[in-house]
Amino acid sequence: MAPPGRFEGKAALVLGVANKRSIAWAIAKRLADEGAKLAFTYQGERIEKGVRDLAESVSSPLVTACDVRSDADVERVFAEAAETFDGGLDLLVHSVAFAAAEDLEGRFVDTPRDRFWTALDVSAYSLVSCAHAAEPLMAARGGGSIVTMTYLGGERAVPHYNVMGVAKATLDASVRYLAWDLGQKDIRVNAISAGPVRTLAARSIAGFPTMEAIVEERAPLHRHIGADDVGSAAAYLLSDEARNVTGTILYVDSGYHAMGM
């Protein structure tokens, strides 16, 4: 018999799976392989079947729709998770972001007000609302761990990343303040800054192949990263092995973030 995994007996809620190439799915698969029970959310009917099929492959007890811009919807989802997992939750994976495609093509200065706030609402405030809803469920288990996905475009100007970079900067700051607020209940909050990964979301970024090429050329390890690399890093941050790691950003980008040129 195989030894118990790191997440045996743990309950996790995963937001942001779109398809089998999603970073969120790579993380979820890793958690499931190590014993976690997983619940999933999806956004919209277009991807529902795909998410349900993936969830079924890891025997998920809960798959539910979630519009992170609705406080009522977020509250409902966490209530369903609490009912599914006997009143508690150990792990939360937040892999949710959105910006209008036209705002990832032109100039940042041309971003209209309404789409600016949409990007920040979905990509950054959603972490705050989900952490707020997760807090009592994780406190009931004596603590927990939250991981979100960020990108270097929140720290430096990346051409065409535009308003999403501003949203990621907001997300990064939110991670630090949430870590402070929730640390007294032994709830950790961290982020992973991944290099370019070929996902559904990446296709909407103009010049994505150029981003990949530059990272391969200039990163110290001179290679691309895959979703599985992010899954491994997230598993560490979510596990008890990282019990004293919170409020931090873990870079999984072949070292590209360390370079000046």
User: What are 143's two structure tokens?
Assistant: 């603590």
CB 227 within 8 A of CB 21: yes
Number of structural domains in the chain: 1
- Distance between first and last Cα of the chain: 50
The pLDDT value recorded for residue 224 is 87
Does some domain include residue 192? yes
More confident residue, 205 or 38: 38
For 233, half-sphere exposure in the C-beta direction (CA atoms, 13 angstrom radius) is: 24
Does some domain include residue 261? no
pLDDT digits (tens, 9 = 90+) for 56-85: 999 999 999 999 999 999 999 999 999 999
**Annotated catalytic residue 151:** yes
The pLDDT value recorded for residue 24 is 96
pLDDT digits (tens, 9 = 90+) for 1-22: 445 699 999 999 999 999 999 9
| Gap between the Cα atoms of 52 and 69, Å rounded | 22
| Gap between the Cα atoms of 185 and 30, Å rounded | 26
Sign of the dihedral through C-alpha 3, 139, 244, 28: positive
The pLDDT value recorded for residue 67 is 97
The pLDDT value recorded for residue 2 is 47
Rounded to 5 degrees, φ, ψ at 126 are -60, -30
Does some domain include residue 201? yes
Task: Say yes or no to pLDDT of 46 above 60.
Answer: yes
Q: 29 is in which domain, residue-wise?
A: 11-252
Which CATH number covers residue 128? 3.40.50.720
Does some domain include residue 258? no
Catalytic member of 42, 125, 151, 177: 151
**Annotated catalytic residue 161:** yes
pTM of the model: 0.94
pLDDT digits (tens, 9 = 90+) for 109-143: 999 999 999 999 999 999 999 999 999 999 999 99
Catalytic member of 42, 161, 251, 256: 161
For 11, half-sphere exposure in the C-beta direction (CA atoms, 13 angstrom radius) is: 21
Does some domain include residue 88? yes
Does some domain include residue 2? no
Does some domain include residue 41? yes
The pLDDT value recorded for residue 1 is 41
pLDDT digits (tens, 9 = 90+) for 184-234: 999 999 999 999 886 656 555 556 677 778 888 999 999 889 999 999 999
Task: Say yes or no to pLDDT of 182 above 60.
Answer: yes
The pLDDT value recorded for residue 133 is 98
Does some domain include residue 4? no
